[in-house]
Chain A
Amino acid sequence: MALESFTESQPLTLGVELELQLLDTHDFDLTPRAEDLLRELVGHEGAWDVKPEITRSMIEIGTSIQRAYIPLRDELRDLRRQMSRAARKLNIGISGGGTHPFQHWSLQQIFPTERFRYISELYGYLAKQFTVFGQHVHVGVPSGDDAMWLLHALSRYVPHFIALSASSPFVQGVDTGFHSARLNSVFAFPLSGRAPFVLTWEGFGEYFDKMTSTGVVQSMKDFYWDIRPKPEFGTIELRVCDTPLHVDKAAALACYLQCICRYLREERPFEPAEDDYLVYTFNRFQACRFGLDGEIVDPKTKQRSKLRDDIIRTLARVDEHALDLQALDASNLIRDSVFDGNDASWLRGLRRRTLPMPAVVEAAATRWMA
């Protein structure tokens, strides 16, 4: 299969996808109720989309194409309102968070579609272990070349998004010590990690042809990269964020990405280079493990700095772009969360108050469903 041509789209338009947890309201374990909720949401109001995910305890929602923070946030709030109403009717809880704190992967059931069955057969138990919940943000770009340039230029900001969105400290009932343990599940897939360093769409097409000729991949969907081009949408897709515990945070993260993209496109502060990836895995690990307290290495200067400080500096640099994009509220929310801590810290705080795990999940569900 040849790589499809890159659809032109309006620069810096946004789309947000959130993978959400479906919970039993008795014990707050995951519950395989996606079909029930999808049936209840048929004919919902609004342009947003809702669809199944790989296991029956997950659901994915997607916003319409947006340009600014307030409309994006309002659409997410409306979506949450309608979903919560349907969920209450069916006695289901819904929550954000990158992992469910105590679900057991072997109890998860694959959602019955051809694509998910194929993934399950190919990856075996990894498919069920992929019951993790992420936020994906699409940013519109005008061409494939722009997409590949921006994708690689963004690589040094990936730790920002991991640390800011981190909400998966617990896995299988245990505190992992990580802020984002979700990404460890993604690492297990052979085609995860970073995209190959190719800066043109033509070059990427050659890489894609080589990969398909090996039979390893069939389509772009088989790549689980942290950032990947999405030619049919005309976007690049950032996939490293855990699903936040609140929709306002999800909207703010998307707009923070939008501001950085505008800053990179208009100011071109540096040109991406293959050597940027020398420190990529280290920085990514620091963000996953220590969250905002992690230390990252600048690929150009080789200087170490606190991730928290790097985000604050970046916020200052993109402030003017935030103003132009009507995203100042989003920037302020991000700035506040840098000081208040991420969702992983909030969840750990609940656990430190000796709350049992189900109570922690219930609190997260209450926060999301509001």
Chain B
Amino acid sequence: MPPLAQQVADWFAELLRGPMAGLRGADPVLGLALVVLVALIVANALHRHLQLPRLFGYLLIGAVASSAALDLIKRADLDPWKPLIDLGVAALVFELGTRLRPKWLLDNLWLTASCVLEALLAALAVGLVLVALGAPAASACVAAAVAAATSPVITMAAVLEGRPRGQVSERLLAMSAFNSVLAILGIKLWPVWGQLGATPGSDMSSLLANAGVVIFGSLLLGVAGGWVLDRISRLDGQAATMPVLQIAMVILVALLAVALGLSPLMVLLAAGMTARSRMGHRLTVEPHLGSAGAALTVLLFVSFGVLSTLGNLATLWPWVLAIIAARLVGKGVAIAATARPSGLSWRQALALTLTLQPMSSLAVLLVADSFSWRGQLSGADAEVMQALLIATTLMQLTGPLWALWPLQHIARECPDAERSPRDGA
């Protein structure tokens, strides 16, 4: 670095040392609140001047504050906020469930094939490329299963921000739900794969039974949650209380799912679908749970940024790159193969392929039975998991760009994007 630039950099470092030290020593709740405030201002500035999605700004500031950069907030600092973050995730997943229309998959069997194929080919491509790079097969399998999923939370939040209307956004929602469920199935089978190389006769049947209980139990609990919401809403009959009922139901089924060892994501998706199917237009889902929920979304995405992990990127970058590229190719090939018979133009197929790329730490949390951040992949190869986490971090940070840019500029499904943000709302 030239001497002058070095001097300037040192001067800035000296200038920031005091405030940084102060922030690091501050109360974690106050610290995160301040970071959320900064994220809000920066995200609005990025949106206004560079037309970048606000979600990207939130993630960016979270990442900057994380231990991967300025180390202002540690992962443990998020613990006091966890109930709110869980609620934010749960509300978005429930809303995603209400947007799904399973009958579409019957009306368009090529779409069903497309949903299955894009998840399978992405997983297959990631698995094969990791094995080719020397990863243990069982660990490559679990990484492949995680990589099959598109982040349902980033997808739903991006759709709420961009308000697109069209085939690509509708398929994006359907596919992100579908491939997340497939990923859960794959990851639930992880212990089974782990056992494949072990001693024959081990308790594989009980592992399979456990996976079955989680899957069918989650669906049953979700259906029950949607049914209960419908019945209670009929008793009350007031539209004004609907958001309150929904929040209560979302919290209840998510807590029950955790307590029973089921998958909250599957439970909430099933609850959303059931509620929509039974209640029709009586179910008025408030986007982001209304204005208070908008703050929740900021907190959620800042937290995702804080969870960023880039450790060992210098050594693991070939694996990280391989995961990202293989996933892109796998999903792209599947979408292209089924595009025309399922009713997509080539332009829309390109847009859909790109929008399916966002990953999130939720994809790793899918392995967990709850929204806990404790990983549940004990026994998996540490390097493979770290490469997966780094890939997830990168595709999470850039997730809103992957989701919204193709919708705005390739599929052209966001009419608001044609207006400059300076024009105002």
Tell me which residues across on chain B come within 8 A of A362, comparing CB atoms: 280-281
Give the shortest distance, in Å, between A115 (CB) and chain B (any CB): 20
Given A89-B107, A89-B108: A26 touches B99 (CB 8 Å cut-off):
yes
How many angstroms from the CA of A349 to the CA of B39 in the assembled complex? 50
Mask of A73-92 contacts with B, CB within 8 angstroms, 1/0: 00000000000000011110
| B166, A358: Cβ atoms closer than 8 Å | no
How many angstroms from the CA of A31 to the CA of B163 in the assembled complex? 12
Q: Which residue of B lies closest to A357 (CB)?
A: B281
Tell yes or no: B170 within 8 A of A by CB: yes
Given A36-B343, A359-B281: A91 touches B104 (CB 8 Å cut-off):
yes
| B165, A90: Cβ atoms closer than 8 Å | no
| A109, B343: Cβ atoms closer than 8 Å | no
Tell yes or no: A107 within 8 A of B by CB: yes
Tell me which residues across on chain A come within 8 A of B167, comparing CB atoms: 33, 36, 90-91
Given A40-B343, A362-B281: A31 touches B165 (CB 8 Å cut-off):
yes
Within 8 A of A (CB), among B88-115: 99, 101, 104, 107-108, 111
Tell yes or no: B282 within 8 A of A by CB: yes
Tell yes or no: A64 within 8 A of B by CB: no
How many angstroms from the CA of A24 to the CA of B343 in the assembled complex? 16
Tell yes or no: B415 within 8 A of A by CB: yes
Give the shortest distance, in Å, between A27 (CB) and chain B (any CB): 8
Q: Which residue of B lies closest to A108 (CB)?
A: B415
Tell me which residues across on chain B come within 8 A of A356, comparing CB atoms: 281-282
How many angstroms from the CA of A132 to the CA of B342 in the assembled complex? 30
Given A89-B107, A89-B343, A91-B167: A358 touches B281 (CB 8 Å cut-off):
yes
| A109, B170: Cβ atoms closer than 8 Å | no
Q: Which residue of B lies closest to A31 (CB)?
A: B165
Partner of B101, one of A26, A32, A36: A26
| B166, A32: Cβ atoms closer than 8 Å | yes
Tell yes or no: A9 within 8 A of B by CB: no
| B280, A90: Cβ atoms closer than 8 Å | no
Within 8 A of B (CB), among A314-370: 355-356, 358-359, 362
Tell me which residues across on chain B come within 8 A of A90, comparing CB atoms: 108, 167, 343
Partner of A107, one of B166, B280, B415: B415
| B281, A24: Cβ atoms closer than 8 Å | no
Given A88-B107, A356-B282: A109 touches B101 (CB 8 Å cut-off):
no
Give the shortest distance, in Å, between B168 (CB) and chain A (any CB): 10
Tell yes or no: A7 within 8 A of B by CB: no
Interface residue tally on B, bucketed by range? 10 to 19
User: What count of chain A residues pass the 8 Å CB interface test?
Assistant: 22
How many angstroms from the CA of A26 to the CA of B101 in the assembled complex? 8
Tell yes or no: A25 within 8 A of B by CB: yes
| B107, A31: Cβ atoms closer than 8 Å | no
How many angstroms from the CA of A355 to the CA of B239 in the assembled complex? 12
Tell yes or no: B345 within 8 A of A by CB: yes
| B282, A32: Cβ atoms closer than 8 Å | no
Within 8 A of A (CB), among B126-150: none
Mask of B53-66 contacts with A, CB within 8 angstroms, 1/0: 00000000000000
How many angstroms from the CA of A88 to the CA of B111 in the assembled complex? 12
| B345, A39: Cβ atoms closer than 8 Å | yes
Within 8 A of B (CB), among A75-120: 88-91, 107, 109
| B107, A25: Cβ atoms closer than 8 Å | no
| A32, B165: Cβ atoms closer than 8 Å | yes
Within 8 A of A (CB), among B335-378: 342-343, 345
Tell me which residues across on chain A come within 8 A of B99, comparing CB atoms: 26
Tell me which residues across on chain A come within 8 A of B170, comparing CB atoms: 91
Give the shortest distance, in Å, between A60 (CB) and chain B (any CB): 20
Tell me which residues across on chain B come within 8 A of A39, comparing CB atoms: 343, 345
Q: Which residue of B lies closest to A36 (CB)?
A: B167
Q: Which residue of B lies closest to A29 (CB)?
A: B165
How many angstroms from the CA of A13 to the CA of B166 in the assembled complex? 39
Q: Which residue of A lies closest to B103 (CB)?
A: A88
Q: Which residue of A lies closest to B171 (CB)?
A: A91
How many angstroms from the CA of A31 to the CA of B343 in the assembled complex? 16
Tell me which residues across on chain A come within 8 A of B108, comparing CB atoms: 88-91
Tell me which residues across on chain A come within 8 A of B343, comparing CB atoms: 36, 39-40, 89-90
Give the shortest distance, in Å, between B220 (CB) and chain A (any CB): 25
Tell me which residues across on chain B come within 8 A of A33, comparing CB atoms: 165-167
How many angstroms from the CA of A91 to the CA of B345 in the assembled complex? 15
Given A26-B99, A91-B101, A359-B281: A31 touches B345 (CB 8 Å cut-off):
no
Subset of 26 A-B contacts with CB under 8 Å: A25-B101, A26-B99, A26-B101, A28-B281, A32-B165, A32-B415, A33-B165, A33-B166, A33-B167, A36-B166, A36-B345, A39-B345, A40-B343, A89-B107, A89-B108, A89-B342, A90-B108, A90-B167, A91-B104, A91-B170, A109-B415, A355-B281, A356-B282, A359-B280, A359-B281, A362-B281
Give me the 5 closest cross-chain CB pairs, A-B, nearest first: A88-B107, A359-B281, A358-B281, A89-B108, A91-B104
Taking beta carbons and an 8 Å cutoff, which residues of B are in contact with A? Answer: 99, 101, 104, 107-108, 111, 165-167, 170, 280-282, 342-343, 345, 415
Using A89-B107, A89-B343, A91-B101 as known contacts, list a sample of 6 further A-B pairs with CB atoms less than 8 Å apart, ordered by residue number in A. Answer: A26-B99, A36-B167, A89-B111, A91-B104, A91-B167, A109-B415
